[in-house]
Amino acid sequence: MTIQDIKNRFGIIGSAPLLDRAIDIAAQVASTDLSVLITGESGSGKEVFPQIIHTLGARKHGPYIAVNCGAIPEGTIDSELFGHEKGSFTGAHEARKGYFEVANGGTIFLDEVAEMPMATQARLLRVLESGEFIKVGSSKVQKTDVRVVAATNVNIPKAIERNKFREDLYYRLNTVPIVVPPLRERKQDIYLLMRKFAADFAAKYRMPIIKLNPEAEQVLINYYWQGNVRQLKNITEQISVIERNREIDAETLKKYLPEIPGTAVGSGFPVLLKNEQMGGNDFSERDLLYKVLFDMKRDLAELKKLVVNIIQHGGQLPDILGNDSNNYFQRIYSEVNAMPVENTTIIKAPPIHEKQPLVNHPIDIPIEESLSLEEREIELIHKALEKNKGKRKNAAKELGISERTLYRKINEYNIRKKNK
């Protein structure tokens, strides 16, 4: 079966070389029983590749089960994956088969595998190594013959460094890696996808198909597409339903495109990027805040060097600042004093006059405190719990994270004891 045949069968649109390469690897590995790890940004279409591998492989007549590991609560994921015996925990009124038992002879797709708790990762490693597992509440070892395909949008090597993912499990899963390219690396496919989505929605809602003029088409192609194919489909549906004029110009299109921090809509790549995603977890306001704090810390250090230089020159500013050096220095000091930074104490310097030596004025250096990310996280969690009177659900909503992630952070930083 050719790559084009696979695209036609699974409804894949595009001809980007990176996409074709990913499809080719999936087709080649389908006839084997090797574990596969699919990586790519959220919304890039990773979920179609396990289906290709299963359908083209020897297990195509066996069961295929897709499991979203990030959607299963930490307390029940072992039961979901490996099953449990009657009475093994509160609410276990009868024995239950897990996904690995049900999928025996077939394929199991573990989406968002990096969200799996460490204890469950150890159980999964045993399945991959020996095909053995034990139900929750049981001591009997059971066997299963399952092919495992996993996917994640997380940068797993970085997760390993933070002790969030087992290194041995990573090498077991990553026997064959498949990298799904983000939409911005498939520029020639963007307009084709948009036209396909527009035609689908026109048929669904029984209305004429929307079309883009040349300027709007360029805006579409040059946009960053942080949410990838999923975001493109969503925006196409919005425009199809809302806009009465079926001819879409650039200004109309821009109204539906969220502005990426550091760039104008349609201008291309943002200035401020995360470690080329893989994700992470997506580009967030917290990432921007950390970037601003570190930039601010660097600027304060440079300001400190400038003050020392001034003192060494007998109160005169270096020539590199030009004729307006005193005004420049006063402006910098004013801007620094205006910065709303909790952990930096700034004592305002007196006004600076052109012919008045600076050494006659006491110049206080900013007192810098720790900008540790871990300390900031702990502080924010404490504040959120205190504000919401210990209610984790409300605190998680306040922090913009899931309740499960908050629970993990509380255990990781031993915050529970401090908030009792």
Query: pLDDT by residue (tens digit) across 287-314?
Result: 556 566 766 777 777 777 777 767 666 6
pLDDT of amino acid 332: 52
Shared domain for 157 and 256, answered yes or no, is: no
Interatomic CA distance for residues 228 and 282, integer angstroms? 12
Out of 212-221, 268-277, 375-384, give the one with best mean pLDDT: 212-221
pLDDT band at 412 (very low <50, low <70, confident <90, very high): confident
Shared domain for 354 and 246, answered yes or no, is: no
DSSP run (H or E) holding 202: helix 187-205
Strand partners, 241: none
Shared domain for 77 and 200, answered yes or no, is: no
| Measured CA distances, 413 to 6, 117, 278, 376, 416 (Å) | 48, 16, 25, 12, 8
**What average pLDDT score do residues 81-93 get?**
89
Interatomic CA distance for residues 29 and 8, integer angstroms? 19
pTM of the shown model: 0.63
Question: Residue 241 corresponds to which tokens in the numbers above?
Answer: 């339903």
Percent of the chain, pLDDT > 70?
A: 75
Shared domain for 230 and 327, answered yes or no, is: no
Task: Say if CB 120 and CB 68 are below 8 A apart.
Answer: no
Ordered strands of the 147-152 beta sheet? 64-68, 107-111, 147-152, 36-39, 176-179
pLDDT over 50 (residue 321): no
Shared domain for 89 and 236, answered yes or no, is: no
Question: Residue 22 corresponds to which tokens in the numbers above?
Answer: 């990913």
Shared domain for 159 and 85, answered yes or no, is: yes
**What average pLDDT score do residues 199-221 get?**
95
Q: 143, 160, 181: which is the final residue of a domain?
A: 181
- Per DSSP, the three-state class of 284 is coil
pLDDT band at 411 (very low <50, low <70, confident <90, very high): confident
Interatomic CA distance for residues 185 and 4, integer angstroms? 20
Question: Residue 319 corresponds to which tokens in the numbers above?
Answer: 């020539």
Interatomic CA distance for residues 402 and 414, integer angstroms? 18
DSSP state of 122: H
pLDDT band at 208 (very low <50, low <70, confident <90, very high): very high
pLDDT band at 337 (very low <50, low <70, confident <90, very high): low
CATH number, domain at 244?
1.10.8.60
What is the residue range of 327's domain?
Answer: 285-368
pLDDT band at 206 (very low <50, low <70, confident <90, very high): very high
Let me know the angle formed at the C-alpha of 346 by 345 and 350, rounded to the nearest 5 degrees.
155
pLDDT of amino acid 335: 55
Q: Which of 67, 14, 323, 279 has the alpha carbon at shortest distance from 158?
A: 279
Shared domain for 35 and 156, answered yes or no, is: yes
Shared domain for 305 and 264, answered yes or no, is: no
Interatomic CA distance for residues 45 and 196, integer angstroms? 15
One DSSP character per residue, 219-247 reads HHHHS--TTHHHHHHHHHHHHHHH-S-SE
DSSP run (H or E) holding 158: helix 156-161
Shared domain for 43 and 148, answered yes or no, is: yes
Please state, as a whole number, how many other Cβ atoms lie within 10 Å of the Cβ of residue 205: 10
**What average pLDDT score do residues 267-280 get?**
44
CATH number, domain at 409?
1.10.10
Contacts of 315 (CB under 8 A, 6+ apart): 357, 358, 359, 360
Let me know the angle formed at the C-alpha of 28 by 63 and 17, rounded to the nearest 5 degrees.
115
Let me know the angle formed at the C-alpha of 330 by 328 and 335, rounded to the nearest 5 degrees.
95
pLDDT of amino acid 286: 55
Shared domain for 45 and 175, answered yes or no, is: yes
DSSP state of 400: T
pLDDT over 70 (residue 150): yes
Which of residues 386 and 116 earns the better pLDDT score? 116
Task: Say if CB 388 and CB 398 are below 8 A apart.
Answer: yes
DSSP state of 365: P
CATH number, domain at 132?
3.40.50.300
Q: What is the mean pLDDT of the chain?
A: 82
Q: 281, 308, 331: which is the final residue of a domain?
A: 281
User: How many domains is the chain built from?
Assistant: 4
Interatomic CA distance for residues 311 and 306, integer angstroms? 9
**What average pLDDT score do residues 62-87 get?**
94
pLDDT over 70 (residue 416): no
Task: Say if CB 189 and CB 19 are below 8 A apart.
Answer: yes
Shared domain for 27 and 158, answered yes or no, is: yes
The counts of H helices and E strands in the chain are: 18, 11
pLDDT band at 405 (very low <50, low <70, confident <90, very high): confident
pLDDT over 50 (residue 274): no
Please state, as a whole number, how many other Cβ atoms lie within 10 Å of the Cβ of residue 309: 14
Let me know the angle formed at the C-alpha of 35 by 31 and 38, rounded to the nearest 5 degrees.
100
pLDDT band at 39 (very low <50, low <70, confident <90, very high): very high
Shared domain for 268 and 165, answered yes or no, is: no
Q: 256, 281, 306: which is the final residue of a domain?
A: 281
pLDDT over 60 (residue 6): yes
Task: Say if CB 268 and CB 222 are below 8 A apart.
Answer: yes
